[in-house]
Structure 1
Amino acid sequence: MASLTSRTRRTIAAGCGLALVVGGAAGFLGRHELNEAWLKYQWRDRHYNAAVMEKALMIAGGNPTEAQNESKEAVTIAEQFAQARTAPGVVAPGAYGNAFTQIQGLTHSAGTWKEVTGVPYNADDPRYRDYYSNSSGGAGHVTGRITGLAADNANHVYAAGADGGVWRSSQGGGAWTSIADTLPSLSGGDLQLAGDGSLWFATGESNTGATSFVGAGVYRLGSPTSAAFAPTDRVGGKELESTTIGRIRFGGGSTVFAATNRGIWYHAAGSKAGAWTFGFAPNPSWMPEIKDDAGNVLVPAGSNWGGNTASGPTDAAYKNIVNDIAVDPKNPKHVVAAIGWRSGDAYNGFYETNDFTTGPSGWHKLSVTLGSITNTSDVGYTTFAFSKTGDRLYALVQQPSKISGSSSLAGIFVSKTGSPKGPWNKIADAAQLHNSGSALDRKGYGVGVQAWYNQFLTVDPANRDHVWAGLEEVFETKDAGSHWSAVSPYWNFYFPCWNIADSKNTCPLAGHPDQHSVAVGTRNGTPVVFFGNDGGVYRRPVNGQVNANGNATDLESTSTDGTLDALQYYSVSVGTETAGSGVVVSGGLQDNGTSNLRKVAPNGTNGDTEMGSGFGGDGGDSAADPRQGCNQLQEYVYLAVKVTNNCATNPGALSEATATSWSLDPGDPNPRFIAPVGLDGADPDTAIFGGQFVYTVPKVWAARDASAVKKVFDLGAGHSATAVSMQDGTAYVSWCGPCNNTGFTRGIATNAGGTWHQLTLASTFPNRFVQGLTIDPANTQHAYAAINGFSRRFTEGPGAGVGHLYETTDGGATWTDTSGNLPDVPASTVKQLANGGVVLGTDLATFYRAKGATTWQVLGTGLPLTVVMDLESAPDGNLYAATHGRGIWSIPAPQ
């Protein structure tokens, strides 16, 4: 799918006094932007006026039936995150495993990393209720996206983060311990307990639904209540490397199935030995060659793969995605699969086999009717759930033809015979679920608008009619769909119980939106259900209570102690706290706004007992004044930059006039979803942004609107900045455009030498994403560029080249590969330190090369092997790393 890189923004004023920030290209209004508009109106009048809101939406250029920007944003960031690691092609199997092996051969420099954000993160912190905050919405204490959950009947619950590995709690949630930090991939696809008590962790998050790049296979832990995963726990060999795995399922206690983006695979459940067996893929001509560790070909390269067609590798990423597998409890050889791309394809639909051991020939596609859907190409992302005895089969179905509408949910269906052939009866649709206590606005943002992205479905083991369904919200039925309750709504803002003042807010905890995983277990003898979403893990009793609106009154967050640090940062910024009481550490997060942690001492201790969120929605890139850490630039997305002088502290701004943050959004026509923002290293009063245009902001901390933003250079139509760096007024800005795999182009612009110009990059400079830039403080002609993606050995695409760090000493006229002994792993950020050394942040580790040295070391010890998105040198003498799945960490800067 094409990424949505064109976004025009404007601020409008409606007669009711609403101010809306709107994506003009498609006319979509984001959920957090809708929240801002609605809150401003509610604070004024206390009651939501649908007619006024609809008028405001229409003035904004949007169709109120298409206010689904949150869904579009989720598509975009998934694609752009993948593009940076795959362009100009796709990644061949074995890439991350190879990098992991290379890292094991490197020495470590001195120093130990310390976790900075291992404290509670309160999304409803009453200190931060500024104009752009979601605080008081009811999410409570949050962490990052949880893609897998498993629980037993003895207080143990396990959680897999989107890029943070696996955690264990022995008290039914809370006091979490990480148990997978040494694995070569911490990207969570699924997590399941087998009948023998072993815990299975499938790596490679499937929520991108696109190109595979982060998986290292499946791991089995025999004693999960006490042990931790090790690389030797991998099941099989490298055959599932570089895949995404959406579900793992067990059949009859003897076989485990993996639903991957490269078809269905299976393995004996009682052993790690032996390769996975390829079961089925609907489009074998689009499969890559896959070998086992001995070099035996398990799957031959299809006729549409690799060099056989011009677009083969790129298109192949979508051709064999398996959404879910269900094993019939009555017959373990009867296996059902939901296969299909979210935007529709001829192969989409339900498949089954009555004897999976016969291989691909045993599988066949079913002809089913799901409500009005009779064409299986219109059956998209689907999740199955059998009742314990197999007499009921439920299905939550996304509909590709509706993916651009206000909801792409086809419905929730049940086959009361347990047969995948049906007949299928619809037991819920978007309208019915909305009327069950949903917080979503039916006129603009329908239930299931992100059904392609967030789904779970499970049946109470003790009651075949008791079902939980996860979309943006969590829904529950106790009578097989006759009645539903939105037990965990999107937020509380639309409900009469809500008030910005906590003393007047009578709403129960709403939980965080965007659901991905579910598990039923026992806590202190009581059956409980756990929900995993973009804000962490929530729990409630299996037989819980709801209020008159159908919302749970007994929902709890399990992140109240801060031990489950799965936070997915895009950036980190550090500056001195007022009165010199430490530093302020802030950063932008996936779907969790911007966090503030204040009074952090140089030794890592925190004077602030918990973090709060000064800005809502997705957080993006950021920058902080090193002299005053509450002077901050924080991006929402698409270069919607806000400036604040007090960390956006505000107990309850009732209007824009009393806000403590202001928008500097320049209205760029083509920014990246996470667009680069920075400060001049020699003059922290000057900022630099990048979209299609390069912008500078003199006296940025006094700026109050976009009139302070100066457009200084046009990178070119269709080009989008990927990184910025500035020192003493000299800047380097990298860009891509097109940024997707097909036709990918990149470049670097600079004003080194006095005037802005595009650099001519030699053919030896990799045709991959330039994701990070840094300038030598002592010589602005000297700079480094960090290169994302894998080198040519693993990246199938034109001009991929080799290396991950390039250096110029002549203002960009020439560049030299200084990668040396660096492992071949995507790099996202680079910093030259005050001592002349260089630090590089990558998808698996942070590396250090001392001044004058020619070889690299792993920087320090103790940092989990996860994606490092940003590195910042701080005034306290520490180096801070923002990881995309394990929070923020710090280490004393090498001397």
Structure 2
Amino acid sequence: MFQKISLDSEQNETQDARGYIDYMYRIRANQITGKLDLNDEVRAYNAAETLVSSRSLGIQWQEMGPDNVGGRTRAILFDAKNANVVFAAGVSGGLWKSTNGGQSWQNIGDQYKCLTIVSLAQGPTGDIYFGTGEGLYFNNGTGTGGFIGQGIWKSTDGGNFFSQLQSTQPVSAVNVFVDWADVNRIAVSPNDPNRVYAATNTGLKVSHDGGLSWVAVYGPVGVISSTDVKTGNDGYVHASIGNKYYRSTAPDGDDFQLPTGQSSFFTGSFSRIELAVAQSDANYVYASTVNSSGGMAGVFQSTDAGLSWTQIGPGNSVNFNPFAFFEPQSGGQGDYDDAVTVSLTDPQTIFVGGSGIMYRYTSTTGWVKIVDAYQNPFFGFYVHPDMHALVFNPFKPTQMLIGCDGGVYITDNALQDQPEFYSADRNYRVTQMYSVAAAATGEVTGGTQDNGTIYIDFLGNTTMSGDAIFGGDGGYTEISHNNPDAFFGGTPNGVLFRSPSKGGGASTFFDFRIDKDNNGKIDEGAEFVTPFILWEQLDSPQVSFYACGSSKSIWFTPYAVNFSIIPDWFRLSSTIGAVSCISFSHDGNDLYAGTTAGYVYHCGNIKDVFNAGKFHYSSPTSTVWNVADSGIKVTSVLVASGRYIRSVAIDPTNNNNIVVTAGNYGNTSYVWKSNNALSDTIVMADITGDLPMMPVYGSTIDISNPNNLIVGTDFGVYSQDLSTGVWSEENTGMAHVPTLMVRQIPFNTIPYLYIATHGRGIFRSSTLAGVNVGISSQNTILDNVIVFPNPVSSLVNVNLNLAKPALINISIFDLNGKHFANELHNLPSGENTVAIKTNSLANGTYLLKVQAESSVFTKKFVVIK
């Protein structure tokens, strides 16, 4: 039966940050130690710097959006010198500036080599600092799932230009602790603009010279992370070091003490402490604390600048727990999302935000819930879940900006009984994508972290506007090229679905063989981001191969786009490890899948078996289907033991050639190729070469030239010439942003590159497609030449438009210049189509040259038989 998907019903699970963080951590951490050694990231970053000047393919990227869907934002700063200027930063999307109080944004961060910005601060003279590296969740002391930073950057001209403070550049160390990998918070003395404090992954540090040099301040013995630091107008400094509260012994001091007393604030055990100091009265200091299960451990207040404390918000209560998904509930994820701030006009009014709930406290009303994203998700009273920053506008004391996993939200009336909130993500392009898919006409979808599956159809307020067509955390996504209304998506851990109307009416399409309890999930379980792939036979719309991976199997159905049925599902192979990536060959006959245990599986003859009518069961209730008897050939190879296989790229012209990429820092091999992938014994050769030692998340082989390999990494896109092994950086038009998926998909028959970045949305490129290659500057007669289909088999059509009747010369060459064909055609003015036979051409890439008098067009096309 059809089961309509209620995406909201999965909300509690899909919004759980731990699932996301665990997923990213397993992809990136070393498979042996289970740790993400920051030294490995530092070494990879330094190596990546050496490839910056090399751009072999010259790929030019075009940003596609979305420009109205934000991403995780931990840092917001109002410019104290300009009432209209505010800064915000995505944790992997860089720095953004608004000159109209947050109503719209402009990018000012792509020019810098580090986009992982998590903290912002401004000194009394106007100097602005930003800190990099996300270490503010589930910190194990040796790095988290977040991306490494590059210390602190400073602007002395009001935020127009920033430069890195060289004293804060991370340097590889002999132990796992790397200074300046994460700069969680920055604070500047209100009295001395050169006195700067930084809460870092290796403790609290202070500079006396505006960041030129730093010293570690007093704290616990050993290397312990500092997660927060605040300065009051009285000059006292308040810090969280090792999840304990410390205060400077004097204003603008370098010495810190651990106060003692009877309050449970001093005796409690916390997993995180967030601090806030009242600007109107620095005697009022607040601490929002998190217990070991991620729930509220209590809110504490000091009225004597941190010497003594009183608990004003209960701890370990199921009824007061902003870090839970709903109340009543214990536990939560406050170590991921804990935010607290104080009203600018009343030192006894504070706000605490967390997973999806925000409370306001006053001395007269006590605690009042003003945001509940799960129980009251209505316009005006909704803030996207996972709040990380609450910042008041110094020029408008009732206006507050909220940084959250959905970007930036604003309330203009924070002190009213019920404030109203609205999204402020206009042109704030910091979306963290997992995946990308494209329609034949260029529209795109992408699965995101915590912002659903986004659809960009160029028909919104801008051409980059996106709509969330599926909610929760996104996953893989596909758009049918036979039926452009047919969309496919997923949410975490094996919830997969399809839609007959571009996101509307989504439902699962599993049968009882893959989902016996009919709950919309794969019974065997699956990866947090569950891989699936769609292959279609363009001349037969009902033939639509769909394969997905579970925690121990590869599953397949041949009729995914037939919405009139629940198709039969077939287990192609069991696997060692969960399926982590999956790919179809260009002709649909071969499928490759990688696993979390380092294996690659090949399932061959799929299309042949389908054409032979062997994808069927003996009865509608049967669960018995023999893979071997059907003719499916299954082989496997261990590529990288215990590691996360991230992608398998298949040569579009030869299914025997594949490239495999893997994750997990702390290794020396990340890319392999095989030239015998169809054989019984697959041989893999390491081609990592001088690519920086870092996870390679996605890959594709160029259909126009199968020697071009394009991959996505923590530092953007790289290419390798497979014939020489030479690597090049390919980030023109985009920043050095983590890139999790790389695909080549036909757009109006032209193969475009598409990438999903984890911090700057979706990009595409036509550079390798040969669009209008070698156009003459005198195209006065010949216009608008289109070659289709592309790839071709036995016949290629050349569509062209002539301004007047002319003799047309059409020639075909290979990439080495060898001439294969030449035809002359006398054609009338207007639109014409000429068919050229290609059945004598071998598989490969060719150039088709069309000349009319002085007008010349050259097009690339690919022959695949």
CA–CA distance in structure 2, aligned partners of residues 704 and 590 of structure 1: 32
Give the alignment of 1:431-830 within 5 angstroms.
441-443=326-328, 445=329, 449-473=332-356, 475=358, 477=360, 479-480=362-363, 482-491=365-374, 494=376, 508-522=380-394, 528-541=399-412, 544-546=415-417, 551-553=418-420, 555-559=421-425, 561=426, 563-576=427-440, 582-599=441-458, 610-649=465-504, 659-664=505-510, 665-680=520-535, 685-692=544-551, 693-702=553-562, 708-716=568-576, 719-727=577-585, 728-737=588-597, 746-752=598-604, 754-761=632-639, 765=640, 768-790=643-665, 795=666, 800-811=667-678, 813-830=682-699
Residue 245 (structure 1) shift: 2.8
Change (3 A) 1:583 1:336: closer
1:384 aligns with 2:292: no
Between the aligned partners of 1:820 and 1:879, the Cα distance in structure 2 is 24
**Alignment correspondent of 1:147:** 74
Partner of 1:425: 311
1:43 is matched with which residue? none
Matched, 1:220 2:153: yes
Deviation digits for residues 244-296 of structure 1 (CA, Å, limit 9, x no counterpart): 3322223453432222333223323x53423x333356462xx5xxxxxxxxx
Q: Which residue of 1 aligns with 2:8?
A: 32
2:670·2:696 contact (CA, 8 Å) conserved in 1? no
TM-score between both structures, scaled by the size of structure 2: 0.74
* Paired position in structure 2 for 1:95: 43
| Cα distance, 1:613 vs structure 2 | 1.3
What amino acid is aligned across from residue 330 of structure 1 in structure 2?
D
State the one-letter code of the partner of 1:322.
Answer: S
Q: Whole-Å Cα distance in 1 between the matches of residues 711 and 325 of structure 2?
A: 42
Could you tell me which amino acid in structure 2 is paired with residue 339 of structure 1? G
RMSD: 3.5
Shift of residue 188 of structure 1? 2.2
Structure 2 partner of 1:416? 303
Q: Which residue of 1 aligns with 2:761?
A: 887
Residue identity opposite 2:405 in structure 1: D
- Counterpart secondary structure, 1:79: helix
Contact 1:830 1:839 in 2 (8 A): yes
Cα displacement (A) at 1:386: 1.7
- 1:324 matched to 2:205: no
Structure showing the higher strand proportion among its residues: 2
Q: Map Cα deviations across residues 834-871 of structure 1 (whole Å, 9 max, x no partner).
A: 11121111111212235634323222511111111112
Deviation at 1:768, TM superposition (A): 3.8
State which of 838, 846, 855 in structure 1 corresponds to 2:717: 846
CA distance in 2 between counterparts of 1:768 and 1:175 reads 42
Q: For residues 542 and 338 of structure 1, do their structure 2 counterparts lie closer, same or farther at Cα, with a shift above 3 Å needed? A: farther
Deviation at 1:544, TM superposition (A): 4.4
Q: How many angstroms apart in 1 are the aligned matches of 2:380 and 2:253?
A: 52
Q: What is the number of equivalent residue pairs in this alignment?
A: 700
Q: State the secondary structure of the residue aligned to 2:656.
A: strand
SS, match of residue 561 in structure 2: helix
8 A contact 1:179–1:229 mirrored in 2? no
Q: Deviations over 1:701-732 (max 9, x none)?
A: 1257876332222213xx21221112233222
In the TM superposition, residue 807 of structure 1 has moved relative to its aligned partner by 4.1
Equivalent position SS for 2:23: helix
Letter in 1 for 2:122: L
2: CA distance, partners of 1:668 / 1:106: 47
- The superposition leaves residues 597-655 of structure 1 with CA deviations (integer Å, 9 ceiling, x where unpaired) of 1258xxxx998673211111100112222344432220111121111122123xxxxxx
Distance 1:606 1:875 in 2: 26
**Contact 1:670 1:691 (C-alpha < 8 Å) held by counterparts:** yes
Tell which structure's C-alpha radius of gyration is larger: 2
- Structure 1-normalised TM-score? 0.71
1:336 counterpart residue number: 239
For 1:783 and 1:185, locate their aligned partners in 2 and report how far apart those are by CA, in whole Å: 32
1:267 match: 207
1:8 corresponds in structure 2 to none
Q: Structure 1's 829 and 241: CA in aligned 2 closer, same or farther, altered over 3 A?
A: farther
Q: Is the 8 A contact 1:147 1:162 kept in 2?
A: yes
Residues 32 and 853 of structure 1: is their aligned pair in 2 closer, same or farther, counting only changes over 3 Å?
A: same
Q: Distance in 2 between matches of 1:435 and 1:884?
A: 30
Say whether the 8 Å CA contact 1:337–1:351 is kept in structure 2.
yes
Supply the AA of the counterpart residue of 2:85.
Answer: H
Q: Once the two structures are aligned, what percentage of the paired residues are identical?
A: 18
Q: Aligned partners of 2:638, 2:359: CA distance in 1, in Å?
A: 59
Residue deviations 1:469-501 (CA, integer Å, cap 9, x gap) = 21124635463474334333315x548xx6xxx
- The residue correspondences of 1:862-873 to structure 2 (distance < 5 A) are 862-873=733-744
* 3-state SS of paired residue (2:149): coil
Structure 2 CA distance for aligned equivalents of residues 158 and 149 of structure 1: 6
Distance 1:823 1:858 in 2: 11
Q: Which is helix-richer, 1 or 2?
A: 1
Counterparts in 2 of 1:527 and 1:631: CA distance versus 1, 3 Å: same
Q: CA deviation at 1:200?
A: 1.3
Q: Which residue of the other structure, out of 101, 107, 127, is the alignment partner of 1:172? A: 101
Shift of 1:675: 1.8
**CA 1:34–1:79 in structure 2 vs 1: closer, same or farther (change >3 Å)?**
closer
Distance 1:214-1:435 versus aligned 2 partners, 3 A rule: closer
Gaps of 5+ in 1: 1-10, 14-18, 22-30, 36-67, 121-141, 288-319, 341-348, 499-506, 577-581, 650-658, 738-745
The one-letter code sitting in structure 1 at the alignment partner of 2:756 is A
The CA deviation at 1:369 is 5.4
* Of 43, 52, 56, the match for 1:104: 52
Residue 265 of structure 1 aligns to a residue whose secondary structure is: strand
| Partner SS state of residue 781, structure 1 | coil
**Corresponding residue number in structure 2 for 1:255:** 195
SS at match of 1:772: strand
Deviation string 1:125-148 (CA, Å, 9 cap, x unpaired) is xxxxxxxxxxxxxxxxx4111111
